[in-house]
């Protein structure tokens, strides 16, 4: 609980898309509601910033369930009235990607500071419009970036900064799992993720994560070559109705960084996991390699690198995973979504620097747009720098 001597400072936040899976299970349950219950977020100036939430969604029954679950009194299904409410100067958009541009523009017009889920928009043109609107308004703005704060990636960042791997030769990222089609078992992802009209598609949904990770750990992406598939063409929605999937559910991408380093990325919602975690990032360097998962990181130096013998007639005697060392560097776990929120709220309250603004969101969209062009034209595509 907060120290009674600390000064409390309220901040009203409109949470649009409050009934959505990510909003409910991440932003509310692991970030905003805990901050409220802790008596607010302690700022650098000694104040406590206490979120006052106005939940917003389309389905009133589901919205009330979410509000009751967290003991929150204020909710509405009316976007216009929410934006008109001056008690809530911060607008958070976590509703479907489709329609985000219009909602964010309305929020700026209403004088709201804006924090939004990724992606910033569905294309570069719309992203540029939002960047221009943000600059014109002079209001604070930001895009959710969470994966770089995961323990495994923080450990990998430390390894890279130590220069123990030497010159980086290549990066390989694997991510995904089996998402049920909804016929035999309920799907783990909402049906809008598989419809183009609502902003679905794996490239648009997941590549904001990969681009922010690559930028954060390795540097800018200079060019990209993508190959995409719709491996499960039919799915069943939340009402049990069959529908056609008109977006990709599997993407393989090759990228070249500005320094020439090759990056290979495989992402799929139609694969079964046979690796250490749902995501692995392998970095091979001249003096060693590192493999990061969501929570762990392992390294192997040049001196400890084995000399396996390829013998197709006999079972491999080496247990390769046991030849790696735990990178260590454990620290108290802070939810990755919370870290992003704390940085943005400090940006709003104290004008602290925040690097994941709409301009950063536009840079991510430029990579995604180049990826779509690469798929359509079946060639390498340069990314604007």
Report yes or no: 278 and 177 within 8 Å, Cβ to Cβ.
Answer: yes
Domain topology for 8-143+336-357: Rossmann fold (3.40.50)
As a residue count, the chain comes to 385
Task: Look at residues 17, 36, 30, 135 and name the one whose alpha carbon lies nearest to residue 82.
Answer: 17
- Dist. CA 173–CA 282, nearest whole Å: 6
The full DSSP string for 155-181 is HHHHHHHHTTT-SEEEEEEEEE-BPP-
What's the pLDDT at 329? 80
The reported pLDDT for the residue numbered 1 is: 47
d(CA 157, CA 207): 19
Q: What contacts 24+ positions apart, CB below 8 Å, involve 73-80?
A: 75/18, 79/16, 79/103, 79/106
Among 165-169, 239-243, 311-315, where is mean pLDDT lowest? 311-315
Task: Please provide residue 73's backbone torsions phi and psi, each rounded to the nearest 5 degrees.
Answer: -90, -30
Q: Which two tokens stand for residue 340?
A: 């992003």
* % of the chain with per-residue pLDDT over 90: 92
C-alpha to C-alpha distances, 372 to 52, 117, 201, 366, nearest whole angstrom? 40, 21, 11, 10
- 2 pLDDT more than 70: no
* Residue 4 scores a pLDDT above 60: no
Q: Terminal CA-to-CA distance of the chain, rounded, Å?
A: 46
> In the predicted model, is pLDDT for residue 179 greater than 80?
yes
Half-sphere exposure of 13 (CA within 13 A, CB side): 30
The answer to whether 264 touches 170, Cβ cutoff 8 Å, is yes
What distance in Å separates the CA atoms of residue 180 and residue 105, rounded to the nearest whole number?
35
Q: Cα(279)–Cα(371) distance, rounded to whole angstroms?
A: 21
Task: Sort strands 279-285 and 325-326 into parallel, antiparallel or unpaired.
Answer: unpaired
**pLDDT higher than threshold 80 for residue 289:** yes
Q: What is the pLDDT of residue 309?
A: 87
Task: Tell me the mean pLDDT in the region 321-349.
Answer: 93
Per-residue confidence (pLDDT) for residue 332, from 0 to 100: 82
What confidence tier does 3 reach under pLDDT thresholds 50, 70, 90? Answer: low
- Please report the pLDDT score of residue 327 as a whole number: 95
Assign 152 a pLDDT band (cuts: 50, 70, 90).
very high
Q: What is the pLDDT of residue 14?
A: 98
Average pLDDT of the residues in 285-314: 95
**Whole-number average pLDDT of the chain:** 95
What residues contact residue 93 under an 8 Å CB cut-off, 6+ apart? Answer: 16, 17, 100, 103, 104, 107, 114, 115, 116, 117
Q: Is the pLDDT of residue 376 over 50?
A: yes
Please calculate the CA angle 348-356-58 and round it to the nearest 5 degrees: 75
Per CATH, the number for 147-332 is: 3.30.360.10
75-76 and 250-257 as β-strands: parallel, antiparallel, unpaired?
unpaired
Q: 48-56 and 41-42 as β-strands: parallel, antiparallel, unpaired?
A: antiparallel
Structure tokens at 210: 């990969």
pLDDT-wise least confident of 99-113, 205-219, 318-332: 318-332
* CA–CA gap between residue 166 and residue 98 (Å, rounded): 43
What's the mean pLDDT in 341-368?
97
Coil, strand, or helix at residue 268? strand
Could you report the per-residue pLDDT of 67-115, keeping only the tens digit for each?
A: 999 999 999 999 999 999 999 999 999 998 989 999 999 999 999 999 9
Report residue 331's pLDDT band, with 50, 70 and 90 as the boundaries. Answer: confident
If 0-12 CB within 10 Å is exposed, 13-18 middle and 19+ buried, where does residue 255 land?
buried
Burial of 204 (0-12, 13-18, 19+ CB in 10 A): buried
CA distance 378 to 381: 9
Question: What's the CA gap between 258 and 23, in Å, rounded?
Answer: 35
The domain spans of the chain are: 8-143+336-357, 147-332
Does the reported pTM lie above 0.75? yes
Coil, helix or strand at residue 210:
helix
**147-332 shares the fold of 8-143+336-357:** no
């Amino acid at each position: 609980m907060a120290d009674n001597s600390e000064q409390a400072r309220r901040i009203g936040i409109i949470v649009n898309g409050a009934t959505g899976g990510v909003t409910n299970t991440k932003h509310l349950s692991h970030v905003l509601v805990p901050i409220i219950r802790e008596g607010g977020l302690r700022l650098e100036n000694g104040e406590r910033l206490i979120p006052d939430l106005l939940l917003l969604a389309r389905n009133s029954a589901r919205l009330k369930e979410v509000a009751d679950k967290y003991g929150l009194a204020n909710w509405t299904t009316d976007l216009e009235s929410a934006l008109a409410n001056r008690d809530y100067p911060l607008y958070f958009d976590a509703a479907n990607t489709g329609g985000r541009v219009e909602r964010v523009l309305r929020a700026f017009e209403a004088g709201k500071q804006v924090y939004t889920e990724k992606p910033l928009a569905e294309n570069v043109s719309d992203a540029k419009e939002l960047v221009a609107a943000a600059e014109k308004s002079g209001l604070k703005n930001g895009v959710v970036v969470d994966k770089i704060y995961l323990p495994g990636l923080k450990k990998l960042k430390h390894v890279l900064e130590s220069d123990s791997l030497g010159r980086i030769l290549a990066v390989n990222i694997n991510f995904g799992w089996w998402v049920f089609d909804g016929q035999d078992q309920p799907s783990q992802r909402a049906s809008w993720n598989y419809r183009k009209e609502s902003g679905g598609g794996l490239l648009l949904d997941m590549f904001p994560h990969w681009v922010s990770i690559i930028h954060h750990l390795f540097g800018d992406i200079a060019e990209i070559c993508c190959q995409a598939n719709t491996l499960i063409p039919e799915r069943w929605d939340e009402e049990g109705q069959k529908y056609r999937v008109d977006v990709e559910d599997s993407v393989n991408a090759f990228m070249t960084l500005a320094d020439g380093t090759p990056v290979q990325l495989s992402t799929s919602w139609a694969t079964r996991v046979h690796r250490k975690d749902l995501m692995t990032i392998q970095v091979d360097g001249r003096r060693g390699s590192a493999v990061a998962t969501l929570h762990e990181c392992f390294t192997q130096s040049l001196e400890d690198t084995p000399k396996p013998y390829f013998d197709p007639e006999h079972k491999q005697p080496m247990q390769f995973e046991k030849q790696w060392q735990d990178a260590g560097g454990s620290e108290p776990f802070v939810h990755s979504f919370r870290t992003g929120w704390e940085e943005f709220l400090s940006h709003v309250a104290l004008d602290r620097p925040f690097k994941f603004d709409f301009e950063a969101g536009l840079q991510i969209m430029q990579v995604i747009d180049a990826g779509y062009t690469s798929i359509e034209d079946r060639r390498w595509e340069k990314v604007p720098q």
